[in-house]
Structure 1
């Protein structure tokens, strides 16, 4: 009779190896990858805690946005509780949409309203000219940023306002908001380029975000309304 212990199963050993490899990859990601870049960017205002760094730089606004997440969640909870107490239907969805629109839009608008590095106010009214320049320079971050400016508005507005549950209306809303911001940049002489291409990208970002949330607001629109009570 063989009383020797059986050899260990390869499954636990393989699992431990995979976990160790994932841990190493995760550590490398946080040490050298995008997460480290983001953390360094957010930590810069802490090294120079001045009014200008906190409120007039991209790094400061990004850190303030992260710090504002718990108050935003608290605002959603408070609005939801208040509305439920008053018997408002879909209280959580309404509250989440309203706070999300403000939280997801205000920081981007704040950033693009910071003074730029142009020599005076510049207006560019030729469509796609600035886009070609951006593509030629490889500044894809600028394009992604413009697409995200009104993305939260495009995603959440149809969920909150039934009148905006339409792609053409969201496209028009994004274009109108962008045109307002670009006009403000010019009027306030912020040394930025007020470009028609920015309007096109901002509107496109809102429309793409609306497409992403379309299954939810279309399903909401297709729910039949409750029949009105008949008089007795």
Structure 2
């Protein structure tokens, strides 16, 4: 028993090291690809011109990158507090899930709800024909819509055992997207409230949940053991 546990420990450490390395490389790649537009927003953010910093997509992305170290400190603090009540792995997983789904969703929602040039003047527009707007979205628009609730779909099942199901995550993403599209219409943000946005947002949340399934299935299993 002891020999098998000791033999399984190194591969587990190797997998964690590989995952961390891949995450760092992924962040570095994203930062490299968007470095030019981010650097255009950096002077306004550094100078405290928040209207130009937080009022543009580039500025919000820049602030997200700047806020990564503080977010990491929050995860560490929450995990440190939780280690008294649970094991270290669960403490880190729950803390990362809580910070991740907030930090990865709120800034993107902020960008989604930014008013257009005709906000308050142009009446709300609705597109209820499924799949009609996918053509006009383009590849970049589809990817952007897939990412709107990706963090929520990835982390929510890890934090809440009741959401540890792909259909439930799909429903959660669709419900949140409906709220966003309704807000765009009600507040006349000069945006089109489209059913295709809801579909793509929900699929993005489900795909992200599928990527984290290894961890949220563990959460669901432990919750079942606790109930027993």
TM range (shorter): 0.7 to 0.9
Matched residues in 2 for 1:46 and 1:92: separation? 32
The two structures, once aligned, show a CA RMSD in angstroms of 2.3
The reply to whether residue 42 of structure 1 matches residue 38 of structure 2 is yes
How many residue pairs match? The answer is 192
Which residue matches 1:55? 54
Q: Is the 8 A contact 1:53 1:59 kept in 2?
A: no
Q: Secondary structure at the residue paired with 1:110?
A: helix
CA displacement at 1:39 relative to structure 2: 1.3
TM-score (normalised: structure 2):
0.77
Q: Is the 8 A contact 2:42 2:62 kept in 1?
A: no
Larger radius of gyration: 1
CA displacement at 1:122 relative to structure 2: 1.1
CA displacement at 1:218 relative to structure 2: 2.2
Describe the shift of the 1:193–1:94 C-alpha distance in structure 2 as closer, same or farther (beyond 3 A).
Answer: same
Which residue matches 1:146? 145
Matched residues in 2 for 1:130 and 1:77: separation? 42
CA displacement at 1:116 relative to structure 2: 2.3
Which residue matches 1:122? 125
Which residue matches 2:9? none
Encode CA deviations 1:177-205: one digit per residue, 9 max, x unaligned. Answer: 00001111111111001111000000000
Describe the shift of the 1:34–1:72 C-alpha distance in structure 2 as closer, same or farther (beyond 3 A).
Answer: closer
Matched residues in 2 for 1:162 and 1:37: separation? 36
Describe the shift of the 1:69–1:35 C-alpha distance in structure 2 as closer, same or farther (beyond 3 A).
Answer: closer
Q: Secondary structure at the residue paired with 2:126?
A: strand
Q: Which runs of 5+ in 2 are unaligned?
A: 1-27
Describe the shift of the 1:84–1:42 C-alpha distance in structure 2 as closer, same or farther (beyond 3 A).
Answer: same
Q: Which runs of 5+ in 1 are unaligned?
A: 1-29
TM-score (normalised: structure 1):
0.76
CA displacement at 1:220 relative to structure 2: 4.0
Matched residues in 1 for 2:146 and 2:34: separation? 20
